Structure 1
């Protein structure tokens, strides 16, 4: 028995009621400031960040400038500031890069703190992240401990600290590692080690990998993995696969499998799909739909054969989701027929994704499959979103479909309110 839908029913009977007039008008990095990211305070020693004159905080630029002028009469702070601003405002990207490199390479050891302070005070890091990174890198090459003291005391976001540690680790691994271990407090993952691992990933991926595997499951370990994996992949996909297979931590290995597959599917989605199927896990299961979608876009028959070769279970359902996503984008009705033939492998996520991908091309086909979603909350939510969208595109067709189909009571109430809103807007 159909759920009561009084307003829609009256529309269907009246035929020419105002509800059906026209279309409805009622209704789907780097951080902005790398130096002011809440909730990510840098770890460091209690005495870090003190300047030679005993000052702390954000570094009083005037005080530092006076010290620089008295120690180095060859260049004034005003000249440095003007030159920095002139370069930052340069319109030619290539000229800007070269001029900035020349600028940072002429800075003395004692000038970096004041330049960085001014750079930050003027808000440059937000729009000039590359120049900020070059500035911190140049400082780290000359005085990594001084740069780290400044960053630990003055900068909450880890970008500057990680840049300094990465630069230091590339030239003095043991020094950087020792500093990171000494200045970390607590039992959790050491966030200071992320920068070290980034610096080692290219020059010594074996040591970088060792440091990564020593970390417990955490966001920091994921960031370390993101730094090491590309370096392994540069040696070839087979090397990267062998390295991942050697990881003893099951959760780390599963995450690495997924990350490698994400890289592989850009050039060889078939290889990515086979790699995921050969290494079943929580993350690999979530990624196989994307691999199969990309594969089907290049070779539908090959992707279909792969799906049919999989045993029943989550992996096969996820592969079905990838296939129907690709097919629904091209031909929703053909995709619906394919989904019906393979309904034994379909779960709620398959139907949800099918509805999203089919809606653009054929909203009626899409909404017809919302009823297959078993989770009542998700089903109602999908009905409301899709029917709202359909009403905006084609009010008459959407309301005609609603009067002819059973809908959950809460969806009926929602859609009746949407029709009233439409009527009021038309009036």
Structure 2
């Protein structure tokens, strides 16, 4: 008579490996069948004794061949990948089927993510096919996105084509577009021309694919700028596609700084051109801040230069608002005011007192412009202090605008205190009358 243990062992070796190596719990007979993968070919395999390795999570002898997925999400990725990669396609499908039968919820989603990320790392095409089999929409989305996230860029083309071939009612349009967007970005890392051609065969929501178009164009331009620019230009009138041209310019700059800079500078004379210049400014700054400053300072169109300088200063202010403020204060008068104001806004939001101390050291128009922004930030915290700062502004236009804003806010918040301050100030009578007239019902 055949020994049932030998027969079961030949069928279940891989399953037992999972139980021992990745801490998958071994189910007692009372566990629900929906949460286990049966360790047999449909017939009872009898009781099997598994002796865990010394030091493993299974510290005692366990009896039963049914294997649970258990704490799969706590297993290190490399360990899980190493085990799953030894299993047959049938065994992997059986484990996926077990996941599909688990109740929907956060814990199940965590198991789905761990399993499909590991599987996709060595066979993303098969993993995606299995992921598509989930009936629950949330679990399906989780599984498919996990495959896409973990898949190698070399497999992006095959995965995109597989998703494109799914029936129209298999996914919502938003889900399909989201998955394809992620895959096109990956695909373009290795083959931007192929990704662009695939993109052009699709009928998609342009706004949804704005990021993918930009990345495709950027990766393509790093190889062939003229072709990428032409591709982006052919889509220039498509809503949400303007990012493709910006991406192409950035990619071109990575290949030929001077040529890309000259191309943009010559065309930055309308709103689209200014936006392109601002985008390139931000990109250059992320690679070479000093070059970005030099290029922006030479832009021939004043409005373009103002917009680009503002982008520069805000990007600087995110990490170092004082440095951004100091840089903005040195700019020519025709671009300084709005730019300096942007830097002061960032600084005041993080350290109002330090910004005020720095402004005390300024003089002339730069001081007035900085104070115009600073008093606006200060008034909500201390309107009296804001008003005291505002009256020291030399430029009458900036001073009146600042005082008007402070008075309007203060007269609404605390009419008695505001009125008292205005009446007792050294302001001219006409200014006092104007400010008091800003009171509600005044």
Q: TM-score range by the shorter chain?
A: 0.5 to 0.7
Question: Aligned-pair distance for 1:195?
Answer: 2.6
In the other structure, the counterpart of 1:20 is none
CA distance in 2, matches of 1:247, 1:165: 29
Unaligned 5+ segments in structure 2 are 1-88, 425-431
Match of 2:279 among 247, 253, 259: 259
In the other structure, the counterpart of 1:216 is 236
Q: Secondary structure at the match of 1:261?
A: helix
Please list the CA deviations of residues 367-394 of structure 1 after superposition, one character each: whole Å capped at 9, or x if unmatched. 4649956999x987765556667x6xxx
Tell whether 2:365 aligns with 1:342: yes
Question: Aligned-pair distance for 1:334?
Answer: 6.8
Match of 2:164 among 141, 148, 157: 148
Question: Aligned-pair distance for 1:239?
Answer: 6.5
In the other structure, the counterpart of 1:163 is 182
In the other structure, the counterpart of 2:199 is 180
Please list the CA deviations of residues 206-237 of structure 1 after superposition, one character each: whole Å capped at 9, or x if unmatched. 24333223332566334324544554555586
Question: Aligned-pair distance for 1:170?
Answer: 5.0
Question: Aligned-pair distance for 1:177?
Answer: 3.6
- Provide the aligned C-alpha RMSD in A: 5.4
Please list the CA deviations of residues 264-311 of structure 1 after superposition, one character each: whole Å capped at 9, or x if unmatched. 55686665444333223545423424645748823877654x32xx3x
Tell whether 2:322 aligns with 1:297: yes
User: So what's the TM-score if we normalise by structure 1?
Assistant: 0.53
CA distance in 1, matches of 2:259, 2:297: 19
CA distance in 2, matches of 1:407, 1:365: 20
Please list the CA deviations of residues 100-159 of structure 1 after superposition, one character each: whole Å capped at 9, or x if unmatched. 542224657466256147497226868997765446978744343231244975233343
On the 8 A contact 2:218/2:251 being kept in 1, the answer is yes
Match of 1:332 among 322, 345, 356: 356
In the other structure, the counterpart of 2:306 is 285
Distance 1:214 1:137, change over 3 A: same
Match of 2:219 among 198, 202, 209: 202
Unaligned 5+ segments in structure 1 are 1-71, 91-95, 417-427
Q: Secondary structure at the match of 2:173?
A: coil
Please list the CA deviations of residues 245-266 of structure 1 after superposition, one character each: whole Å capped at 9, or x if unmatched. 4768854442232123334556
Q: Secondary structure at the match of 1:220?
A: coil
In the other structure, the counterpart of 1:89 is 110
CA distance in 2, matches of 1:89, 1:116: 17
On the 8 A contact 2:184/2:216 being kept in 1, the answer is yes
User: So what's the TM-score if we normalise by structure 2?
Assistant: 0.52
Please list the CA deviations of residues 337-383 of structure 1 after superposition, one character each: whole Å capped at 9, or x if unmatched. 957x328996xxx776333344478643434649956999x987765
Indicate the structure whose relative CO is greater, using CA pairs within 8 Å and at least 6 residues apart: 1
Distance 1:321 1:113, change over 3 A: same
CA distance in 2, matches of 1:297, 1:236: 33
CA distance in 1, matches of 2:189, 2:343: 45
Please list the CA deviations of residues 63-96 of structure 1 after superposition, one character each: whole Å capped at 9, or x if unmatched. xxxxxxxxx8552352353799879527xxxxx7
CA distance in 1, matches of 2:405, 2:345: 20
In the other structure, the counterpart of 2:337 is 317
Report how many aligned residue pairs link the two structures.
323
Distance 1:268 1:292, change over 3 A: farther
